[in-house]
Amino acid sequence: MATFFEEESHTFSEYLLVPGYSSADNVAANVSLKTPLVRFARGEEPQITLNVPMVSAIMQSVSGPKLAVALAQQGGLSFIYGSQSIADEAAMVREVKSYKAGFVVSDSTLTPEMTLDDVVELLGRTGHSTMPVTEDGTPHGRLCGIVTSRDYRLSRDPRDRRVREFMTPFDKLVVADDATSLKAANDLIWDKKLNALPIVGAGRRLVALVFRKDYDSHKSQPNELLDQHKRYLVGAGINTRDYAERVSALVEAGADVLCIDSSEGYSEWQRRTLAWVRARYGTSMRVGAGNVVDAEGFRFLADSGADFVKVGIGGGSICITREQKGIGRGQASALIDVCRARDEYFDETGTYVPVCSDGGIVYDYHMTLALAMGADFMMLGRYFARFDESPTNRVSVNGQYMKEYWGEGSARARNWQRYDLGGDKKSLSFVEGVDSYVPYAGPLKEGVEGSLLKVKSTMCNCGALDLPELREKAKITLVSSTSLVEGGAHDVVLKDANQQVSIN
């Protein structure tokens, strides 16, 4: 007969934390969110420690190089998506590893033949008003000039006016060569009263822009996640098909950690992939695996050598796996079960295998709950897709700015490897995800700082100054559906409907 779980499975929204004693030391400024990313033996330090317990989802609409840099600056880590060619994924990893703080590769580039209409459209899409003009319109093409909002007047200029007619041409620009340091670039910006300085390489090739405002970025980012060469840490997704070629290319590109990206991790394919990476790279390359939703799945992956184990099936905001296939488990129940298994595994073997709660985080307090239930860190998709730095377009829908967000199992992403069950077939048989919009939420830095301040405040209410202490001291209660209603504003008429806490 089938196995029946004793308890029904629950989601984060069904739980609350009950405050504990807060001492005078329990203030947000004293809280550490440091957490291990990869397995380690009792008494040893993990090879990689995150400064904040957040990683970004291995998804086309979430984890590109720009988001990876922004998140590493806040102390978390991105996994560059694997549903692209090996060369393209490796190039993205390389872009993060070669990122020089303050040197920005433009995402708003024009050609001289474009029109004012194109400028307006691009401004709406990226929100960036400084637009380099290159011969071929690429971010590293031959520089012809620059357009800023000072170069045109929308009320007066015809919309079909060519960019070449109103841009500031190259010979009128102050530029610097690509050997220029950030300090020297900034001195020039101040001396010449510039807003942006183009950095130009051989053949007048545009390398990057330095903006006046970026200069102090290092000082305002105390949590930056850096390797020993002061480069940002970055992860990358792999699959159980082409790992022999993909892993080698990613290692060569400088990836710091890998993760097998699959909707279902309790499989022979993951065991083989983990064994291959271990045999080839020993412990010099770390690799996480998943996803699982119970203790059995965790133990299988831990025994197979996974450096961390990801938990979650069907809880992602864009995921319809549960509807399509009837597999999955409430995210909170799955997490609690797996974290218990992790602790037992540690007691038995002396090896700690971190657990990542993947998907289904909607409100900021869900993060605190996930951490209190035992997650070492969380993987978030929808949350990060909303920020400026995610790779997708910002669009206006009914007067409100939105960012696009689509699942890896959607017809748009066509990531068949993620849903692969082996065999000869190499295509997505049916969709397990949707294509959607999420409300635009501005820069990542502000969003993450705001969310983590809430996490830290709640930790203080629980009397905890770090994550192990939170796990030990947290008192967690299930709430009835009636008390859920009590949790929001109720029995009052709101003066402004926007006061309702917006989904972060």
- Residues lying near ligand RVP in the complex (CB under 6 A) are found at 57, 59, 312, 316-319, 321, 358-361, 379-383, 407-410, 432-433
Amino acid, single-letter form, for residue 29: A
Contacts of 344 (CB under 8 A, 6+ apart): 295
**Is 334 or 465 the residue whose CB approaches ligand RVP more closely?**
334
How far apart are alpha carbons 68 and 389 in whole angstroms? Answer: 9
Say which of 144, 319, 339, 462 is annotated catalytic: 319
Would strands 309-311 and 355-358 be described as parallel, antiparallel, or unpaired? parallel
Please, what is the minimum distance in Å from the beta carbon of residue 280 to ligand RVP? 26
Tokens 């206006």 belong to residue: 396
Give the nearer residue to ligand RVP in terms of CB position, either 133 or 356.
356
* Nearest-10 Cα torsion for 56, 60, 62, 65: 80
The least distance separating ligand RVP from the CB of residue 206, rounded to whole angstroms, comes to: 34
Known binding residues: 261-263, 312-314, 316, 319
Half-sphere exposure of 23 (CA within 13 A, CB side): 6
Residues pairing with 132 in the sheet: 146
Is 418 known to be catalytic? yes
Q: Which is the catalytic residue, given 246, 418, 460, 471?
A: 418
Question: Which H or E element spans position 177?
Answer: strand 176-177
Contact by Cβ (8 Å): 390, 402: no
Binding residues for K(+), as ranges, are: 314, 316, 319
Residue of minimal CB distance from ligand RVP?
A: 433
- Least distance in angstroms from the C-beta of 74 to ligand RVP: 17
Cβ–Cβ under 8 Å, residues 36 and 15: no
As measured in angstroms, the least distance from the Cβ of 141 to ligand RVP is 34
Polymer length of the chain? 504
Nearer to ligand RVP by Cβ, of 35 and 331: the residue is 331
Output the smallest distance, CB 312 to ligand RVP, in A: 6
14 or 432, CB closer to ligand RVP?
Answer: 432
CB of 358 to ligand RVP, least distance (A): 5
- In degrees, rounded to 5, the angle at the alpha carbon of residue 469 between the alpha carbons of residues 465 and 471 is 125
If the CB atoms of residues 342 and 418 are measured against ligand RVP, the closer one turns out to be 418
DSSP 50-87: ESSSEEE-S-TTT-SHHHHHHHHHHT-EEEE--SS-HH
Q: Which of 349, 354, 243, 350 is nearest to 290 (CA)?
A: 354
Question: Among 122, 124, 146, which residue's Cα sits nearest to residue 134?
Answer: 146
Q: Which is nearer to ligand RVP, 132 or 312 (CB)?
A: 312
Structure tokens at 154: 């929308």
- CA angle, 388 then 390 then 396, to 5°: 55
Active site residues: 319, 418
